[in-house]
Amino acid sequence: MSGPSTYNPSTGIEKWLDDRLPIIRLGYDSFVDFPTPRNLNYWWTFGGILAVFLMIQIVSGIVLAMHYVAHEDYAFESVQRITRDVPFGWLIQSMHANGASFFFVAVYLHMFRGLYYGSYKAPREVLWILGVVIYLLMMATGFMGYVLPWGQMSYWGAMVITNLIGALPFIGDALREWLWGGFSVGQSTLNRFFSLHYLLPFVIAAVVGLHIWALHVPGNGNPVGLETRKGKDNKKDTLPFHPYYTVKDGFAIIVYLMVFAVFVFFLPTVLGHADNYIEADPLVTPAHIVPEWYYLPFYAILRAITFDIGPIDAKLGGVLAMFGAIGILFVLPWLDTSKVRSMRYRPLTRWFFIFFVVAALGLGWCGAVNPDDFVLGITGFKFLYLGQFLTFYYFAYFIIVLPVMGIIEKPKERPASIEAAVLGSDKA
Amino acid sequence: MTEENGAPGADGQEPSRRDFIYIAAGGAAAVGGGLVAWPFIDQMNPAADTLALGSIRVDVSVVAVGSEVTVMWRGGPVFIRHRTEEEIAEAQSVELDALPDEEARNDNLPTGTPGTDANRVLRPEFLIVKGNCTHLGCVPLGLGANTGDYDGWYCPCHGSHYDTSARIRRGPAPENLPVPDYFFETETTVKIGLSPEEASNSGWAVS
């Protein structure tokens, strides 16, 4: 897609097709001869891993839908039946449930890669924004998928999240009832969540197509953050995607699938919650409602706002902060004022980034526990306070650190080109 | 539009019949789009049969003084507590300005009614409220488990305390537990889902 096509149809059939639908040319130019920076490290393999996991989720999900019953009286039982009675149901259900977790692990690493190496900066803003859209769609899909087994955590997770909508002024109550299709989370809610859970992965696949399109216009970023040179020097900075990166991505995919297999076969329920093996009961709330692990940092941000901010009460404030934590990613390309992409050459910001990762993990910890418990047993130091501090840092990283550091920080000297970085010392 | 023919347009030229067709076709498409979209949006609202499952009948004679039951109504819990004299007195003694939410939240009464205990019950001995915490919808614990610091209910999810009139007193919940429409059909039978006014208008016996 970038640069002239190098595809040469070699057979009569290929030539005939190329004049009518140049689909082989598209594949060749995108995944065979695509010029890719020669210095990509393993952090760049998560895009391919994510594509594989989207396929795993879609294929295993289509199969599960053949056996699942989206009814409040049968949903729980039908999932148990899948894992016990349906041939290989135990395998496919485990792949789907654990696949969601591995999908999110990969997407978080992919996003941290983008944050560290400045992948969101010009000319890749649209590429980044499409990525955030995919992430949001994944969150919605994952949330609705978790409701389907209709266990206690499914039900009460859905109750808590849909009640957040009720915090919106004026329209909150009507909107919540519209989402539920009733007066509470119930049959209508389950049925429509199933429908949407089936739909959204295909929407994700479509946006992934746009994401790759937007990637192939400027080409990949890379660890040193320099653009590949144009013209005859381009060959010195790049390698063809195949075989160099098909092999590198393939190796990473195999390693990642091996770890996945350990969970699917030996730890199939370890990422789940014991309470979800109790069928949903609208009259009994579990003692401690927690979302799936991949939402925990945002759950912690939601709970960190325990005070009113002007006319915004604490409940609405928490909801706004939670959505704002993702929403701010959309404007990130314009918040970071530095022209230097890679954190390798940003000695101060690099430390702020490292602490940002720590803060994100710390927020996950805060989200998993009771906010009134004490951190490490230190009397008085509630998880709530830790969560509030880390929430502050999360937003400060985007609103204060990145805009200011771009102005005051003196970046390290960068190599002259990707070629120089690979052949000489990239510490330059 | 046609009456304006003859008046010069913005660019000094007279609007042509083609301009009219553009605007009319565009307008019709916008309105038509909206009309088609609405059924697809509205279908997600509660269906007629869901709305029809609106009311239940509960025999409250089995609820002894100083105890409570939880019944299922419209897919969620409703608390019915047979209050003791002390609980009633405690609820009645609270000043309005001690309440985080000063409204009655009683579906039988107009919005904005002050949240005194008298405005929260039909008969002081029976307190009937919807049992989802107004914070995020958990079911608060009550008698026999944990009644919180105000002897009413305690929500374990995020620590909201409700008093013996099920009004929020402390914690993140913004509103009192709402009182559903209900009326006493007989001395010991409560019908939940219709207000006394609606009931007598529809010919129900109201005790």
From B71's Cα to the closest Cα of chain A, the distance in A is: 8
Contact yes or no for A224/A426 (Cβ under 8 A)? yes
Candidates A183, A192, A287; nearest CB to B76: A183
Structure tokens at B112: 């904005």
Q: What is the mean pLDDT of residues B87-113?
A: 91
- Percent of chain A scored above 90 by pLDDT? 84
Whole-model pTM: value is: 0.90
Beta bridge partners of B183: B191
Task: Note the pLDDT of residue B1.
Answer: 45
Q: Which residue has the tokens 């009286």?
A: A73
Task: Note the pLDDT of residue A221.
Answer: 95
d(CA A44, CA A219): 13
d(CA A10, CA A416): 39
Within 8 A of A177 by CB-CB distance, chain B residues are 45-46
Residue of chain A whose Cα is closest to the Cα of B134? A163
Q: What is the mean pLDDT of residues A232-259?
A: 95
Candidates B136, B139, B181, partner chain A, best to mutate (most A CBs within 10 A): B136
Q: Is B74's CB within 8 Å of A287's CB?
A: no
Task: Note the pLDDT of residue B9.
Answer: 52
Structural domains present in chain A: 28-427 (1.20.810.10)
The residues of B that are catalytic are 158
Taking alpha carbons only, the member of B55, B60, B52, B51 closest to residue B207 is: B60
Q: Is B72's CB within 8 Å of A163's CB?
A: no
d(CA A183, CA B131): 13
Q: Is A159's CB within 8 Å of B138's CB?
A: yes
A1 pLDDT tier (thresholds 50, 70, 90): very low
Q: What are phi and psi of A147, to 5 degrees?
A: -75, -30
Q: Is B174's CB within 8 Å of A184's CB?
A: no
Contact yes or no for B178/B115 (Cβ under 8 A)? no
A112-129 tens-digit pLDDT:
999 999 999 999 999 999
Residue of chain A whose Cα is closest to the Cα of B47? A181
Candidates B77, B136, B158; nearest CB to A283: B77
Checking if the pLDDT of A426 tops 50, the result is no
CA A293, A296, A298: angle at the middle one, nearest 5?
145
Contact yes or no for A180/A186 (Cβ under 8 A)? yes
Q: Which residue has the tokens 């040193």?
A: A224
Does A327 contact B at CB distance below 8 Å? Answer: no
Task: Note the pLDDT of residue B10.
Answer: 56
Say whether the ipTM exceeds 0.90.
no
DSSP state letter for B81: E
Task: Note the pLDDT of residue A428.
Answer: 43
Q: What is the mean pLDDT of residues A200-220?
A: 97
Checking if the pLDDT of A2 tops 80, the result is no
Portion 140-199 of B in contact with A at CB < 8 A: 156-159, 172, 174
d(CA A378, CA B22): 71
- Tell me if the bond preceding A123 is cis, omega within 30° of 0: yes
Q: Is B46's CB within 8 Å of A159's CB?
A: no
